[in-house]
Amino acid sequence: MEAGEEMEQILKKSVADSDSGDNGKMVCSIQEDLPFILKPSFENFYTLMTNTALDRETRSQYNITIMVSDLGTPRLTAQHTIIVQVSDINDNAPAFTQTSYTIFVRENNSPALHIGTISATDSDS
Round the average pLDDT of the chain to a whole number and report it: 81
Of the pLDDT bands very low, low, confident and very high (cuts 50, 70, 90), residue 72 is confident
**Domain housing 39:** 9-85
For residue 22, tell me if it sits in a domain: yes
How confident is the model over 75-100, as pLDDT tens digits? 888 899 999 999 888 888 899 999 99
The reported pLDDT for the residue numbered 36 is 93
User: What's residue 3's pLDDT?
Assistant: 42
Q: What is the pLDDT of residue 57?
A: 87
Spatial separation of the C-alpha atoms in residues 120 and 125, rounded to whole Å: 12
- pLDDT at 9 > cutoff 90: no
User: Is the residue at 4 inside a domain?
Assistant: no
C-alpha separations of 125 from 47, 86, 91 in Å: 31, 14, 11
| Domain total of the chain | 1
| CATH at 79 | 2.60.40.60
